[in-house]
Amino acid sequence: MSLVPARIIIVMGVSGSGKSTTGQAIARQLHAPFLDGDQFHPPANVEKMRAGTPLVDEDRWPWLERLAKALCEAAEPKGVAVGACSALRRIYRDYLVEKAGEPILFVHLEGSKELIASRMATRQHEYMPAALLDSQFATLEVPDPATENVLAVPITDSVEKITRTVLKNLEHLKSFRRWQ
């Protein structure tokens, strides 16, 4: 499926894959607002993850809805907004699109568990333990480019290179012109 024009871009992937870092870099280049999914969790979700307990579907629906609606609002002023959200399962991605009421371009940060574990080991995170990485991979349903509006990029590339790759793909989306 060729990429569908979207005002909302969500950088997705397992914890530690680089969503916050890359999402901020893309937003900077687009002069767009950046919304980090981590900020939209209810306290109960944060406490659960901090305690080393993986979230389940029921924990995620209100979080995903809040983030989708906030991204819609954030995209109003300039016609673009960038988010970071693990969006691990296909049903979560479909739910984000449903609640946004418009297309979303997902950028999937793909990398090995070993590489991501090594990056988690050297980062400071408010609450997410590296011990949850296994459950993240167990829950991840890799997006299918044939049926989902997704661009997969390898996290072995630098943040700068990933950002360039994403922007290059946006150029083919007519909505990109409004952002320049």
Among 24, 125, 157, 175, binds ligand 6PG (CB under 6 A): 125
Min separation Cβ 59 and ligand ADP, Å:
17
Would you count residue 39 as binding ligand ADP (CB under 6 A)? no
**CA pair distance 44, 46, nearest whole angstrom:** 5
**CA pair distance 22, 13, nearest whole angstrom:** 11
CB of 16 or CB of 33, closer to ligand 6PG? 16
Site for ligand 6PG in 35-94 (CB under 6 A): 38, 41, 49, 55, 60, 86, 88
Task: Find out whether 32 and 78 touch, Cβ atoms under 8 Å.
Answer: yes
**Adjacent-strand bridge partners of 180:** none
Within 10 Å of residue 30's Cβ, how many Cβ atoms? 22
CB of 21 or CB of 175, closer to ligand 6PG? 21
**CA pair distance 76, 1, nearest whole angstrom:** 27
**CA pair distance 79, 46, nearest whole angstrom:** 31
Min separation Cβ 19 and ligand 6PG, Å:
6
- List of residues contacting ligand 6PG (CB under 6 A): 15-16, 19-20, 38, 41, 49, 55, 60, 86, 88, 125, 128, 136
